[in-house]
Amino acid sequence: MNAVNPRRWWALVVLAAAQFMVIMDTSIIGVALPGMQRDLGFTQGGLQWVFNAYVIAFGGLLLLGGRLSDLLGARRVFATGWVVLIAGSVVAAAAGGAGVEILGRAIQGVGGALIAPSAMTLLMMLFGHDQRELGKAMALYGAAAPAGGTAGVFLGGVVTEYLSWPWVFIVYIPIGLATLAAVPALLPAVRGRRGSVDVLGAAAVTAGIALAVFAVVRAPEQGWGSAATLLELGGAAVLLAVFLGVQRVVREPIMPLGVWRTPGLAVANLAMALLGAAWIPMWYFLNLYLQQVLGYGAFPSGAALLPMTVAVMIFMIGITARLLGRFGAKPLIVLGLAVLAAGVGGLSLVRADGGFVVDVLPASLVAAVGMSLAYIPAMMAAMSGVRPEESGLASGIVNTTYNVGSALGLAAMTAIATSGGAEPGDLAGLTEGFSGAFAGAAVVALAGAVLALVLMRGRRARAAGEQTSETESLGV
């Protein structure tokens, strides 16, 4: 056991800030999307790649990032991740065209995939000596995620309105440099261990996910039954099959298949995938509806989303954990997805001549409550049954699942939203497309609720609640 680090709480500030920034990177660009579309020449359907490029790289490489953290040392990988994230931010900020912007976002995603798992390893090293301290540290670290999402929405609006959209990326540069300066003094040096890197497996799963999303994005234009679409989807299936085959035979896989024998893991990951596939499209198209239909500027749009994001933060930090300890995970996952479906379904009623107070605020708050009720219980249910030595792997899998579900859901709902061919300025056409996307996302959330109700075991789900209740008893 390593000696207790006297600067561990300052180190936690650095790690929580990293979690804050990684999550903020997915939300800060929301209100900047119309400006990027105008300046960089994105089509209405292609605009989603500003988001998808990040989440595909981030989700597809999380497991590899965790493996590299084990082999090379967590502090080294954490610092490398920040270097990569800064480089991606520079590329994204300086982009003069859509392709370069997408490249910059993908590089940012690679940086995030290195930062997130190495930060968790460092946190466990700093606080693993004391379960009481570990519980408090995990709570503070976890709170950084909804805080980052909330700050991203508001900060994106402020920066875009009063500076310009490239500044949503420039802001990462000084923060990243300050973090790198603090790493040697605050974070413990972690020795790596011998082993191999499953490069083929990592490449196959990332390429398979990207090709699947690409096929869904292009399907409305090419036709769902066209040879091109079928070949792309078939290629994605082959790549994912190669990934599973590699995991079966390679000596040190990035995802040992035996972990899937853990009771409840598969169902909890299915719930997380469908949660992401409903929530992220709702957030994405709500940004576009506020700006492209209601005519909000960047700052008013960010401010309009604050009630929803603050509600998510309050529920996740202050309410959901207590409910989880009392009722267990399954009821909250089912109820949360059902409430999310109701909220997103309410947004499908938006009007071209609508207003924020009637068309957006009530439904978005309902959706926020649903998201808050489902997210933490699904995460806990996915991790509660695994052995302690597999907790990092389970965390990587569930985060990957959520991000992949987000990317595929956004691709599918964008296909619905753009099927009518409406472009900026056609308020009725845009509203009809956005309404269809909201309705599709509501169906996905409802399907998640039904599947969780039918497939999830209450006893296993309750085990996750007992774990959280134990954490609360430690003073969290």
- Between CA 164 and CA 215 the distance in angstroms is 32
Per-residue pLDDT for 468 more than 50?
A: no
| Region 278-303 average pLDDT | 84
145 pLDDT band, cuts 50/70/90, is low
Transcribe 395-438 into DSSP letters. HHHHHHHHHHHHHHHHHHHHHHHTTT---TT-HHHHHHHHHHHH
Task: Express each pLDDT in 98-121 by its tens digit.
Answer: 889 999 999 998 998 888 888 877
Least confident of 34-38, 410-414, 440-444, 455-459: 455-459
Q: What would the mean pLDDT of 259-268 be, rounded to a whole number?
A: 84
Q: What is the pLDDT of residue 1?
A: 43
What is the SS3 assignment for 360?
Answer: helix
Q: Which single residue is written with the structure tokens 């090293």?
A: 125
Place of tokens 């990569």: 84
Sign of CA dihedral 345, 348, 353, 356: positive
Mean pLDDT confidence for 289-304: 82
Are 375 and 336 within 8 A, CB to CB?
yes
Range 140-144 contact pairs with CB under 8 angstroms and sequence separation of 24 or more = 140/12, 140/16, 141/12, 141/15, 141/16, 141/19, 142/316, 143/16, 143/313, 143/316, 143/317, 144/16, 144/17, 144/19, 144/20, 144/23
For residue range 370-429, list pLDDT tens digits in order.
Answer: 988 888 788 778 777 766 556 666 777 877 788 788 878 888 888 888 877 777 778 888
In this predicted structure, what is the pLDDT of residue 212? 84
Q: Give the Å distances, CA to CA, from 474 to 96, 134, 137, 228, 384.
A: 52, 10, 12, 56, 18
pLDDT score at 463: 45
Q: What is the pLDDT of residues 211-261, one digit of tens each?
A: 887 787 777 777 878 898 899 899 999 999 999 999 888 888 888 888 788
- pLDDT recorded at residue 234: 93
Write down the pLDDT at residue 128: 66
- SS3 of residue 125 by DSSP: helix
Contact 418, 430 (CB under 8 A): no
- What local confidence, expressed as pLDDT, does residue 445 receive? 96
Residue 131, pLDDT score = 66
Q: What average pLDDT does the chain have?
A: 82
Mean pLDDT of 164-186: 88
Residue 91's pLDDT is 95
First-residue to last-residue Cα distance in the chain: 24
Signed CA dihedral, 397, 403, 404, 406: sign only = positive
CB-based contacts of 375, cutoff 8 Å, min separation 6: 272, 275, 316, 320, 336
Residues 69-99: tens digit of each pLDDT = 877 888 888 999 999 999 999 999 999 888 8
Model confidence at 195, pLDDT cuts 50, 70, 90, reads low
CA 176 – CA 178 distance, rounded (Å): 5
DSSP string, 270-308: HHHHHHHHHHHHHHHHHHHIIIIIS---HHHHHHHHHHH
Give me the pLDDT at residue 336, please.
94
Which of 31 and 445 is assigned the larger pLDDT? Answer: 445
Kindly report which listed range (316-325, 404-413, 464-473) carries the lowest average pLDDT score.
464-473
Q: Is the pLDDT of residue 304 over 90?
A: no
Q: What is the pLDDT of residues 118-137, one digit of tens each?
A: 887 787 778 766 667 766 77
Q: Tell me the pLDDT tens digit for each residue of 326-377.
A: 888 889 999 999 999 999 999 999 998 888 899 899 999 999 999 888 887 8
Nearest to 418 by CA among 19, 49, 15: 49
CATH class of 9-184: mainly alpha
CATH 3.40.50.300 fits 259-476, yes or no: no
